[in-house]
Structure 1
Amino acid sequence: MTTVHTVPQTARADSPVVPSFAVIPGSQVKEVLQGREKTVVEVVEATYRLHGAGRTVNPPSSFLRFPDRPTARIIALPASLGGEGGVDGLKWISSFPANVASGIPRASAVLILNDPVTGYPFACMESSIISAARTAASAASAADRLSRGRPRPARLGFVGAGLIARYIHTYLEGTGWSFDAIGVHDLSPDSAAGFRTYLEQSGAVGRVTVHPSAEELIRLSDLIVFATVADRPHITEPSWFRHNPVVLHVSLRDLAPQVLLSATNVVDDIDHCLRAATSPHLTERLTGNRDFLLGTLDDVMAGRVTVPAGRPVVFSPFGLGVLDLAVGGYVYDEVARSGELRVIDHFFHELSRHG
């Protein structure tokens, strides 16, 4: 069984002590995760099983928004992961779309891991890579699980050509996928061209095409990834999906309710996904019920539900904080095992109650 989390040995002692505090930069995070796509997918799937079994705590995310910067937000995702070892923590992730015009990524993040015995944090790590990796691993798992029982997708299409799209492509290839054709559509011609160059230079198998419209890409793709910054639905025509593709609706707000109502819908967590004006949330508002949902990805993995082959299937993952904890815990383990953990001496100073 894949171990999905850890805490420092000092925190496991019979007499609790304050754990050491380490900082793990992005370079170490990337070094640990690169080339280990199959392992990260296993970590994510194990975490979905723990979550489905009720062995996690995953409160609603908190959104910090700004009246003077309406497109920007910072989100706090607190969570607690049970199972062997156990770990608590928080991801603090910002989304500033205006960054893209300056040539820097839209999102930045840190992840704090807390010792469940004392509550003290024992690590702070760069987390935009962890966030992208767990998102991509979730998408790769869904692509595999939801395409079973139907012809394996041979034409991959990306609507949105940023960092998340790149990571999802990496995780699909890293878990054994190959495609006859890859399509790209982005409102920014520069982003679409840059992603096409990345795909070609990465040695992606299959013809790479930049499509002028989302409609053309959707109609010509069997596996479709939505990885945009859309804040409201912009895809409204169910007939574009008449060929019954598998849709990874990672950005959550691209598809109009009428599209979801014509499809089989799977989410990562029902209560989390049906909030914050996501497409599933808007569909619930429209219909007054949740009957349009088949279930969760964990339900599919466990065989509690069966995905029909004769309809489009849409996976809409809200993104669970416990996934960040699990992947972050895996990274912490690997860095500690390598002997390269960067411990900050005397980070906690006031350690006596009475001075």
Structure 2
Amino acid sequence: MTSFHVVDGTLTQEVIAAAPAKILELVRDTYLAHSLGRTVNPNSYFLRFPDKPSCRIIALPAHLGGEQPVSGLKWIASYPPNVEQNLQRASAVLILNDAETGYPFACLEASQISAARTAASAALAVETLQPGERPRTVLFVGAGVIGRTVSNFLAARGLAVGDCLVHDHVDAYADNFASYLRETHGWTSAQRADDIDSALAMADLVILATTAPAPWLSDEQTLRPDQLILNLSLRDIHPTVMIKCHNILDDVDHCLTAQTSPHLTELEYGTRDFITGTLADVLRGEVTLHQDRTTIFSPFGLGVLDLAVGAHIYRTALEQGRATEIPGFFPELSRW
């Protein structure tokens, strides 16, 4: 492979919006492939800044095997102060490498890919961990891009929402998100929830998508045994809550790093016995959940998910003739 293409974010967005079911299928298949050892997914690498402790840039290298193997790297920046300037918190690129030669062959705008694979993972978890259930009350905690994208995937999958609540530390963000849910998805009950404790006690499905630097959801809040919590922001939940719940992860070793809620729980209690299994275990029927405790799904975010979605978008862009080739990107390919 000797050519190099760029795929812009507008096209990426269009491909995702056109077929969210395809994205969810790719995520499901990749989870199963990963659980069977058909991927390589090293730990993520964090670039941090002493003068900007809330900011980081993360490198997620990965390899996905199968009939169309591909390697690559997602390079994603998370800068929470961006929100104050009405900029999105996260920005990213995804580099795809040829599995045979190692040559990079594409660069894709990847903030949309990252949000979509996270949202598809969330929707898959709802369908797998709360099958057949119609959540009477859904609570979004954090009114940002991730929460919005999760709502898009849940709506695309036909989730019938009863009451819908939105909580954010900035009232205006919560109001904007609630308006979006009403106008875009027809969830007419969507409204801002000022009292987070009452909202948590009411909700059947809780989507945590914040930038909180430390756990805030403690055992002072009331949770229910039939409740599903999607811990998408990684470290909102205190270990004293985690230890009492069913805990489903996307990958055990990957999740138990970087001060995530599962990692903090392992450090606090010195055991991994609180982990019930992975989402792939549930998909294969190897783990069965009972509604005797709250269930928490904590996906750290596997780089192979970005690869699967990114490779699909790249191939679609080529088929549509909309991938931008960069002539001369490799000025010399022959060794001699």
- Measured against the shorter chain, the TM-score band is over 0.9
Kindly indicate whether residue 289 of structure 2 is the aligned counterpart of residue 279 of structure 1: no
**Counterpart mapping for 1:1-355 below 5 A:** 11=1, 19-148=2-131, 151-237=133-219, 240-354=222-336
Once the two structures are superposed, residues 162-185 of structure 1 have per-residue CA deviations (whole angstroms, 9 ceiling, x without a partner) of 000000000001111010111000
- Native 8 Å contact 1:264 1:293 kept in 2: yes
Q: Quick one: distance in 1 between partners of 2:135 and 2:304?
A: 29
Give how far 1:310 is off: 2.1
Question: Number of aligned pairs?
Answer: 336
Residues 105 and 190 of structure 1: CA distance in aligned 2, closer, same or farther (over 3 Å): same
- Native 8 Å contact 2:138 2:165 kept in 1: yes
Secondary structure of the residue aligned to 1:329 is: helix
Secondary structure of the residue aligned to 1:348 is: coil
Normalising by the residue count of structure 2, what TM-score does the alignment of the two structures yield? 0.98
Q: Quick one: distance in 2 between partners of 1:225 and 1:112?
A: 29
- Native 8 Å contact 2:182 2:188 kept in 1: no
Structure 1, unaligned runs of 5 or more: 1-10, 12-18
Q: Quick one: distance in 1 between partners of 2:98 and 2:196?
A: 46
Give how far 1:34 is off: 0.7
- Native 8 Å contact 2:225 2:291 kept in 1: no
Secondary structure of the residue aligned to 1:133 is: helix
Q: Which amino acid aligns with 2:119?
A: A
Residues 42 and 238 of structure 1: CA distance in aligned 2, closer, same or farther (over 3 Å): farther
Once the two structures are superposed, residues 82-111 of structure 1 have per-residue CA deviations (whole angstroms, 9 ceiling, x without a partner) of 011100000000000000000110000000
Give how far 1:238 is off: 6.0
Choose 198-207 or 138-147, whichever is displaced more. 198-207
Q: Quick one: distance in 1 between partners of 2:191 and 2:275?
A: 33
Give how far 1:203 is off: 3.5
Q: Which amino acid aligns with 1:79?
A: A
Q: Quick one: distance in 2 between partners of 1:267 and 1:152?
A: 23
Q: Quick one: distance in 2 between partners of 1:182 and 1:163?
A: 17
Secondary structure of the residue aligned to 1:207 is: coil
Q: Quick one: distance in 1 between partners of 2:162 and 2:131?
A: 19
Normalising by the residue count of structure 1, what TM-score does the alignment of the two structures yield? 0.92
Choose 215-224 or 204-213, whichever is displaced more. 204-213
Question: Which runs of 4 or more aligned residues in structure 1 lie more than 4 Å from their structure 2 counterparts after TM superposition?
Answer: none
Secondary structure of the residue aligned to 1:228 is: coil
- Native 8 Å contact 2:135 2:160 kept in 1: no
Q: Quick one: distance in 1 between partners of 2:103 and 2:37?
A: 24
- Native 8 Å contact 2:76 2:90 kept in 1: yes
Give the root-mean-square deviation of aligned CA atoms.
1.2
Residues 262 and 238 of structure 1: CA distance in aligned 2, closer, same or farther (over 3 Å): farther
Once the two structures are superposed, residues 194-245 of structure 1 have per-residue CA deviations (whole angstroms, 9 ceiling, x without a partner) of 1112112213234112111221221111000000001110011265113531
Give % identity.
48
Q: Quick one: distance in 1 between partners of 2:72 and 2:253?
A: 20
Q: Quick one: distance in 2 between partners of 1:118 and 1:252?
A: 36
Q: Which amino acid aligns with 2:262?
A: P
Q: Quick one: distance in 2 between partners of 1:203 and 1:49?
A: 30
Once the two structures are superposed, residues 53-95 of structure 1 have per-residue CA deviations (whole angstroms, 9 ceiling, x without a partner) of 0000000000000011111000000000001110000000000
Residues 119 and 262 of structure 1: CA distance in aligned 2, closer, same or farther (over 3 Å): same
Q: Quick one: distance in 2 between partners of 1:164 and 1:131?
A: 9
Q: Which amino acid aligns with 2:270?
A: G
Structure 2, unaligned runs of 5 or more: none
Give how far 1:340 is off: 1.7
